Structure 1
Amino acid sequence: MKLWAKRATHTAGVLVAAAGLALAASAPASAAPPNTATGLKATGLIPANPLVASAFPGTSPNHAASLNLPPLLTTGAVDTAAGPTTASATVSGLNISLSPLASLTAGTLTSNCSYNSVTGVVSADSNIENGKVVLLGTPIFLTPHPTPNTTLTLPGLATLILNRQTTGPDGTVTVDALSVSLVSGLENVVLATSTCNAATLS
């Protein structure tokens, strides 16, 4: 009787372990977050949730005729889109008041990213057309197609990061065409953001 009980207990343990392995094998992997694109987001004294945001899976493309965050900034048309392996964002007609004596303007800001399923690599890029800072009447022109994470510091006013790119532990890449930090971080604005996962979403 004792021998039978031991065998039954052993058999039950094997069955439970096997069932656990089967469930683990059949359980789906954690779903990747969506590819996304955002026209503008801001934190600080004048906050703004992500505006003109697209996502895949989700809603895409999206468009706004203009954006206005008084007294900080205005834009013209904003367009975003996201797909199974790509994301892109475009902001036109940007005008930011850095201070009563300084402003930043740009004709067009764009960012894009894409996942290559063959190489398993996410690539990203951004561009600033006709961008400039005017400080006390003197223009400082922003380089189009800047190298990633190009930084321009305006002492006492702002820090600009052009083509800001970050890569997550899972290979996800985020690119911002322009990041603006005003007055030691009291206001932060990010424009034309695209994020792509290192995976094909469908």
Structure 2
Amino acid sequence: MENDDVIESPRRRGRPRIHASQRVRWRKAQAARRLRLREAAAKKKKVRALFSSQRVEWSTPPELVESVLNRLGISSFCLDPASAGAGGTVPAFRHFTKSDDGLQQEWLGNHIWLNPPYGRRIKEWIRKAIQEWQSGRAKVLVLLVPARTDASWWHELLAVGGQPEFLRGRLRFLDESGQRQDVAPFASVLVWLRPHVGDQIDPRP
């Protein structure tokens, strides 16, 4: 009696016959695996881009900027030294874009916002922020950075009096066209550098 559900595998010693239904399931499983691999590769590519130094591609969520401005009681920052430009999400009287190279400029102002590039040069931006704040040119600095508490720059920030404020959940940054991206693969934190009053940190914004 013939069985149409059985497919003979190539004649190799020791290989069992494979049922058609088993082969269909195997093919579906392989297709699903390839899809998972493609999705994982795409996600990894986005993560690499988010950690890259192309700051212009990753803008701060506007609702976070608005919240900080409201708490400071101002409508605009004096300076955004790592800016996507005047058309970005951070209102400021002055913007330093990539072509201006904010690392080479003086940061002057009472209220300065910094969302630095998250690539390898983030340490340079953190040290520049500390330098400008300690010089007195920058009175209040608000930094949006990844919560990398094991990084050397993180400890440098806290050592000079930086006040961390961990954000609940994870942010969805905007690309250069203003479109929201997937949820960031890391937690974020605001670090406040404020004027000192004696040996105490001034709690006022």
Same fold, TM exceeding 0.5?
Answer: no
Q: Which structure has the bigger radius of gyration?
A: 2
How high is the TM-score relative to the length of structure 1?
A: 0.37
How high is the TM-score relative to the length of structure 2?
A: 0.37
Give the structure with the larger strand fraction.
1
- Higher relative contact order, structure no. (Cα contacts within 8 Å, ≥ 6 residues apart): 1
Give the structure with the larger helix fraction.
2
